[in-house]
């Protein structure tokens, strides 16, 4: 056996020493080394014991799991204190004598002790990596001894260690702390060395306790390996999952009464430590995310899918690409480990191809929805997606490079495509051909060979399943596809109303709400980590072969994604190894407690990524696909300057387009991250970041070319830990000219650090970035019921007081069709009565502002309509002064 075959890098050196015969004794700790428990902490076993005692009538029904655990911890402490000059070492009998007799009725002491030993036998598991080292030592005729701090007797330990994986243990010497009256840190090691009659250098010891198994024996000359259970990085992950770590701490959540944590805590710990060495720290972070977060989650998902397939009599499962490559591997390995006759295969499907193949080319509204599905597609790109040439639609000839970023242009495009029978027929030809190519691909794969078609996907809204059902119905194929998903949200209602079966592992139809909302708000990291390293499916050849889009992934991102997937598979291999070794007795991750624990793991990872995770995943790029060439990073570059201004509530307000994973922003700032975690933990309320008193809002209104101001868009004003505030708005209208910003939404003195507008102007293909961040930018603006004080200071007198931004003029275009406005500011609230003394105005700045406004306005109006334009502008000013505007 090579070092790698030992399965754990911490054991590599031990194996080499054993294989070389350069030691004469292999010494092992017992618990968390030779044996580990299927509970997060040893004391959590006492909670499981309560259920068994209640079942056997050995304790009252009112003694809950948490109650017995506290009693058992307290009884052991009492027993150790009562030993006086006999030392602190106790037996299990001593501990149970310290329990209150009246609660356990006539139950004999031996029976209560036997019940705990039976539980320990049930939940302890042989460490298969250590068992391999033991096997190698025996081949080399190296003595094996066990050294343990324990309250178990020799017979009790013999019962716990009687496992086929360990082989015969009769000749193995066991040195117990309660046998010798001292523990490993206080004198047991001296007894071990004396009784063995070997020099310390001849002994190699493996154990999990840093002091008792490493520092103390190493100080005596014993060669040691600290076989730590939890390393520092994994401990931080457990803390973010609210897993109690102190042995006497609070009751652990999500424990199954029979199976505890199903071994997840220990197996995750082994998996995250088993990788490497890695060329970069980023790769190590990626491995740990795969092995410790997504590995357990997807292992459970794969087991559940295979189990549901068996229960429903489904033998073949189809996994849409790009997720299908990894998901099918996981499902097949899960089924193989459990001995189930289920097979999963990848199949080429995507939201885009099923959407096109099921499109109704004669329905203008459906065509409108289709062209708006892509993000910021140009008209030219939309025509290309529909396999049309610019000359095929003469009505759009002048707008080919116009971005479809608002309803008006989408209306014009969809009407142009459906206004004549000829164009509808051209569109129908495209749709029919796309549908036939899709059907041909499914037939080639064998997906249409049977009477059912069961899809497996990550989920969210079940769009592919619903659209595929329509495609098959149009094609006259009598198959209603069903689906198994990691989670689905409320959008899955459309599936159920269509009579389609769709089941969710962690969440279904938006329930539980917390799980569904968290996963579907930030699904990007899960999707990217599962996707194959290829472009998305954009069509098929006439022969049914997939046509893939280009990818924008960097070599480093691809390396990190591969490493995440390697970590996922590594965890499943470790899990399945124990499934196979148990001969059918290993618990399934389909149990409710397992799903709840895995949900907590995923939600915690999505809500509170570590700084290392943010540094790695924040640089990954997102591809919009669906005909769009837009590429953005998961940690958006445009929001990085806004991080000091953000509060947790602002993160919640961000649209998916603003940030695919808002928690990455929080992880990039210590204060913001701490505040977000405190809110998630229930320690503080999100409202604590709102200014005291009545809440108020920043309001954006936009003016269109018809001189009409539209209804305001609102955002709650918050003040973060830095005393700063943030607001972001998005609007769309095909002929926007100006916007007004009522920044504080109340009387206040405001310091505007910067305003950024990202706009699509004049039908231009690329987005323009406009900024106001210098005094000269603010001087020439129009102030309604507010005043420019100089520099970047403004005073707002009323709740509706606003500063106007001339977006179209600043962009050098007649109109703006859509925009995203971001404001970074600080504010000093003033009295709502309006009676507070006003700030002194910089007279020079005021005159400059007035002159700049008049000059800009006159220049704009003269350029637009000559002298008449100037006169019309004067008339508008007059009407506003009279209150008629």
Show the 3-state SS of 454-510: EEEEEEECCHHHHHHHHHHHHCCCCCCCEEEEEEECHHHHHHHHCCCCEEEEEEECC
Range of the domain at 174: 4-34+127-229
617 class by beta-carbon count within 10 Å (0-12 exposed, 13-18 middle, 19+ buried): buried
Last residue of a domain, one of 438, 470, 490: 438
Last residue of a domain, one of 414, 438, 462: 438
Quick one: DSSP state of residue 403? B
Measured CA to CA, the distance from residue 762 to residue 465 in angstroms comes to 39
Q: Which two tokens stand for residue 759?
A: 């706009």
CA distances from 394 to 249, 383, 397, 671, 679 (A): 73, 12, 5, 56, 56
Residue 501 and residue 594 in one domain: yes
- Residue 753 phi, psi dihedral angles, 5° rounding: -75, -40
Measured CA to CA, the distance from residue 661 to residue 632 in angstroms comes to 12
As a whole number, the mean pLDDT across the chain is 90
Q: Report yes or no: 229 and 268 within 8 Å, Cβ to Cβ.
A: no
Residue 334 and residue 457 in one domain: yes
Residue 554: the pLDDT is 87
Q: Report yes or no: 311 and 322 within 8 Å, Cβ to Cβ.
A: no
Residue of 757, 765, 738, 728 whose CA lies nearest to 819: 757
Q: Which two tokens stand for residue 283?
A: 């790769």
Residue 646 and residue 783 in one domain: no
Distance from CA of residue 309 to its chain's centroid? 27
Letter string b/e over residues 401-426, b meaning 16 or more CB atoms within 10 A of that residue's CB: ebbbbbeebbbbbbebbbeeeebbeb
DSSP H or E run through 631? strand 628-633
Tally of domains within the chain: 4
- Residue 740 phi, psi dihedral angles, 5° rounding: -120, 140
194 class by beta-carbon count within 10 Å (0-12 exposed, 13-18 middle, 19+ buried): exposed
Measured CA to CA, the distance from residue 155 to residue 177 in angstroms comes to 15
- pLDDT band of residue 873 (cuts 50, 70, 90) is low
Letter string b/e over residues 480-502, b meaning 16 or more CB atoms within 10 A of that residue's CB: bbbbbbbbbbebbeebeeeebeb
Residue of 823, 826, 659, 802 whose CA lies nearest to 756: 823
Cβ partners under 8 Å of residue 173, min gap 6: 143, 145, 146, 195, 196
| Predicted confidence (pLDDT) at residue 3 exceeds the cutoff of 90 | no
| Domain of residue 732, CATH code | 2.60.120
Residue 455: the pLDDT is 97
Measured CA to CA, the distance from residue 603 to residue 679 in angstroms comes to 14
In the block, which residue shows the tokens 């050995």? Answer: 58
Residue 631: the pLDDT is 64
Q: What percent of the chain has pLDDT over 90?
A: 71
- pLDDT band of residue 688 (cuts 50, 70, 90) is confident
Residue 601 and residue 635 in one domain: yes
Distance from CA of residue 187 to its chain's centroid? 48
Residue 670 and residue 740 in one domain: no
- pLDDT band of residue 371 (cuts 50, 70, 90) is confident
| Domain of residue 166, CATH code | 3.40.50.1000
**Reduced DSSP (H G I as helix, E B as strand, rest coil) percent helix, strand, coil of the chain, to 5:** 50, 20, 35
Q: Which two tokens stand for residue 403?
A: 């971005």
Q: Which two tokens stand for residue 231?
A: 């390393």
- pLDDT band of residue 6 (cuts 50, 70, 90) is very low
Q: Report yes or no: 349 and 537 within 8 Å, Cβ to Cβ.
A: yes
Residue 640 belongs to a domain: yes
| Predicted confidence (pLDDT) at residue 884 exceeds the cutoff of 60 | no
Max mean pLDDT range (533-547, 587-601, 637-651, 680-694): 587-601
Residue 44 belongs to a domain: no
Residue 566 and residue 481 in one domain: yes
pLDDT tens digit sequence for 734-771: 899 999 999 999 999 999 999 999 999 876 777 899 99
Residue 783: the pLDDT is 95
Measured CA to CA, the distance from residue 206 to residue 212 in angstroms comes to 11
- Residue 620 phi, psi dihedral angles, 5° rounding: -70, 150
Distance from CA of residue 750 to its chain's centroid? 37
Q: Which two tokens stand for residue 822?
A: 């971001």
Quick one: DSSP state of residue 447? T
Measured CA to CA, the distance from residue 309 to residue 452 in angstroms comes to 12
Residue 885 belongs to a domain: no
Cβ partners under 8 Å of residue 484, min gap 6: 304, 305, 308, 309, 317, 454, 455, 456, 457, 502, 503, 505
Residue 119 belongs to a domain: no
Residue 275: the pLDDT is 82
Quick one: DSSP state of residue 31? B
Residue 461 and residue 590 in one domain: yes
Residue 1: the pLDDT is 37
Residue 673 and residue 705 in one domain: no
Residue 225 and residue 175 in one domain: yes
Measured CA to CA, the distance from residue 118 to residue 114 in angstroms comes to 6
Cα angle value 247/249/251 (rounded, 5°): 105
Residue 793: the pLDDT is 96
Quick one: DSSP state of residue 710? P
- pLDDT band of residue 689 (cuts 50, 70, 90) is confident
Residue 665 and residue 722 in one domain: no
- pLDDT band of residue 4 (cuts 50, 70, 90) is very low
In the block, which residue shows the tokens 């925009």? Answer: 819
Q: Which two tokens stand for residue 530?
A: 């599962």
| Predicted confidence (pLDDT) at residue 626 exceeds the cutoff of 70 | no
Instruction: Write the secondary structure of 127-166 as one string of H (helix), E (strand) and C (coil).
Output: CHHHHHHHHHHHHCCCEEEEEECCCCCHHHHHHHHCCHHH
Q: Report yes or no: 190 and 200 within 8 Å, Cβ to Cβ.
A: no
- Residue 377 phi, psi dihedral angles, 5° rounding: -70, 145
Alpha helices, DSSP H only, in 619-727? 648-653, 663-667, 670-680
pLDDT tens digit sequence for 456-484: 999 999 999 999 999 999 999 999 999 99
Q: Which long-range contacts (CB under 8 A, 24 or more apart) does 439-447 make?
A: 439/471, 439/475, 439/477, 440/540, 440/543, 440/544, 441/348, 441/540, 441/544, 441/545, 441/546, 442/347, 443/544, 444/544, 445/318, 445/345, 445/347, 445/348, 446/316, 446/345, 447/318, 447/347
| Predicted confidence (pLDDT) at residue 849 exceeds the cutoff of 80 | no
Residue 531 belongs to a domain: yes
Question: pTM to 2 decimals?
Answer: 0.90
Alpha helices, DSSP H only, in 815-842? none
pLDDT tens digit sequence for 648-664: 999 999 998 888 999 99
Residue 494 belongs to a domain: yes
Measured CA to CA, the distance from residue 730 to residue 742 in angstroms comes to 15
pLDDT tens digit sequence for 657-683: 888 999 999 988 888 888 888 888 788
Last residue of a domain, one of 188, 207, 229: 229
For range 195-204, the mean pLDDT: 95
Residue 383 and residue 530 in one domain: no
pLDDT tens digit sequence for 289-343: 999 999 999 999 999 999 999 999 999 999 999 999 999 999 999 999 999 999 9
Residue 665 and residue 772 in one domain: no
pLDDT tens digit sequence for 576-598: 999 999 988 999 999 999 999 99
Query: Does a cis peptide bond (omega within 30 degrees of 0) precede residue 720?
Result: no
| Predicted confidence (pLDDT) at residue 157 exceeds the cutoff of 90 | yes
CA distances from 273 to 6, 37, 288, 545 (A): 13, 18, 8, 41
DSSP H or E run through 407? helix 407-418
Residue 874 belongs to a domain: no
Q: Report yes or no: 764 and 757 within 8 Å, Cβ to Cβ.
A: no
Rg of the chain over all Cα atoms, to the nearest angstrom: 34
Residue 855 belongs to a domain: no
Residue 870: the pLDDT is 60
Measured CA to CA, the distance from residue 298 to residue 321 in angstroms comes to 16
Q: Which two tokens stand for residue 380?
A: 């030219």
């Amino acid at each position: 056996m090579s070092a790698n075959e030992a399965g754990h890098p911490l054991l590599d050196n031990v194996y080499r020493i054993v294989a070389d015969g350069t030691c004469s004794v292999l010494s092992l700790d017992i618990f968390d080394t030779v044996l580990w428990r299927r509970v997060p902490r040893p004391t959590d076993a006492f909670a499981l014991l309560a259920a068994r005692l209640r079942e056997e009538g050995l304790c009252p029904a009112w003694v809950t799991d948490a109650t017995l655990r506290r009693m058992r911890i307290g009884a052991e402490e009492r027993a150790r204190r009562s030993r006086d000059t006999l030392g602190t070492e106790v037996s299990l009998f001593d501990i149970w004598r310290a329990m209150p007799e009246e609660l356990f009725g006539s139950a004999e002491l031996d029976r209560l002790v036997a019940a705990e030993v039976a539980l320990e036998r049930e939940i302890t598991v042989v460490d298969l990596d250590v068992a391999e080292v033991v096997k190698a030592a025996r081949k080399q005729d190296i003595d094996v001894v066990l050294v343990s701090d324990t309250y178990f007797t020799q017979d009790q330990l013999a019962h716990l260690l009687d496992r086929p994986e360990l082989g015969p243990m009769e000749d193995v010497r066991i040195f117990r702390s309660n046998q010798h009256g001292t523990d490993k840190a206080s004198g047991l090691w001296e007894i071990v060395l004396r009784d063995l009659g070997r020099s310390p250098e001849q002994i190699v010891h493996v154990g999990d306790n840093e002091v008792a198994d490493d520092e103390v024996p190493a100080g005596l000359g014993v060669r040691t390996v600290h076989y730590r259970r939890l390393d520092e990085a994994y401990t931080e992950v457990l803390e973010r999952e609210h897993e109690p770590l102190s042995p006497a701490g609070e009751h652990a959540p999500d424990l199954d009464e029979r199976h505890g944590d199903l071994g997840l805590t220990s197996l995750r710990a082994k998996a995250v430590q088993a990788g490497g060495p890695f060329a970069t720290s980023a790769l190590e972070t990626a491995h740990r995310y795969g092995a410790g977060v997504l590995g357990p989650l997807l292992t459970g998902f794969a087991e559940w899918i295979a189990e549901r397939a068996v229960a429903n009599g489904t033998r073949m499962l189809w996994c849409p690409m790009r997720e299908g490559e990894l998901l099918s591997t996981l499902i097949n390995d899960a089924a193989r480990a459990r001995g189930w006759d289920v097979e999963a295969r990848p199949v080429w499907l995507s939201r885009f191809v099923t959407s096109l193949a099921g499109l109704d080319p004669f329905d203008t509204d459906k065509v409108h929805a289709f062209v708006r599905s892509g993000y910021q597609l140009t008209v030219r790109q939309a025509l290309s997606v529909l396999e049309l040439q610019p000359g095929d639609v003469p009505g759009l000839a002048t707008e080919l490079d116009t971005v479809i970023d608002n309803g008006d242009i989408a209306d014009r495009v969809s009407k142009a495509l459906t206004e004549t029978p000829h164009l509808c027929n051209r569109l129908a030809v495209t749709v029919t051909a796309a549908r036939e190519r899709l059907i041909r691909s499914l037939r080639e794969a064998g997906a249409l060979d049977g009477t059912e078609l069961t899809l497996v996907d990550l989920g969210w809204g079940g769009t592919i399943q619903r659209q595929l059902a329509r495609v098959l119905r149009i094609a006259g194929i009598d198959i209603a596809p069903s689906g198994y998903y990691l989670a689905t949200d409320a959008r899955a209602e459309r599936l159920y109303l269509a009579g389609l079966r769709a089941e969710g592992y962690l969440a279904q139809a938006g329930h539980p709400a917390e799980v569904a909302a968290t996963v579907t708000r930030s699904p990007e990291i899960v999707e990217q980590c599962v996707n194959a390293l290829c472009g998305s499916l954009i069509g098929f050849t006439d022969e049914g072969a997939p046509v893939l889009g280009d990818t924008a992934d960097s070599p480093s991102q691809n390396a990190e994604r591969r490493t995440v997937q390697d970590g996922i598979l590594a965890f499943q291999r470790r899990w399945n190894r124990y499934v196979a070794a148990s001969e059918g007795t290993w618990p399934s991750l389909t149990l409710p407690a397992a799903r709840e624990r895995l949900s907590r793991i995923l939600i915690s990872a999505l809500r509170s990524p570590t700084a290392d995770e943010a540094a790695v995943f924040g640089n990954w790029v997102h591809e919009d696909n669906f005909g769009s060439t837009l590429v953005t990073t998961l940690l958006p570059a445009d929001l990085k300057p806004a991080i000091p201004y953000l509060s947790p509530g602002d993160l919640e307000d961000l649209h998916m387009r603003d940030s695919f994973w808002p928690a990455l922003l929080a992880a990039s700032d210590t204060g913001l991250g701490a505040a977000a975690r405190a809110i998630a933990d229930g320690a503080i309320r999100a409202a604590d970041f709102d200014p005291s008193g009545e809440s108020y809002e920043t309001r954006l209104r936009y003016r269109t070319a018809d001189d009409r101001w539209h209804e305001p868009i609102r955002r709650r004003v918050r003040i973060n830990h830095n005393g700063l505030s943030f607001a972001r708005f998005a609007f769309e209208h095909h002929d926007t000219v100006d916007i007004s910003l009522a920044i504080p939404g109340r009387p206040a003195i405001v310091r505007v650090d910067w305003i950024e507008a990202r706009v699509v102007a004049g039908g231009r293909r690329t987005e323009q970035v406009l900024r106001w961040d210098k005094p000269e930018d603010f001087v020439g603006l129009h102030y309604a019921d507010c005043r420019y004080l100089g520099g970047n200071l403004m005073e707002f007198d009323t709740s509706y007081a606003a500063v106007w931004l001339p977006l179209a003029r600043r962009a050098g275009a007649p109109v703006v069709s859509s925009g995203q406005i971001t404001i970074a500011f600080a504010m000093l609230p003033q009295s709502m009565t309006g009676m507070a003394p006003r700030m002194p105005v910089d007279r020079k700045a005021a005159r400059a502002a007035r002159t700049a406004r008049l000059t800009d306005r006159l220049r704009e109006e003269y350029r637009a309509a000559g002298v008449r334009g100037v006169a019309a502008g004067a008339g508008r000013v007059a009407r506003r002064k009279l209150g008629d505007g």
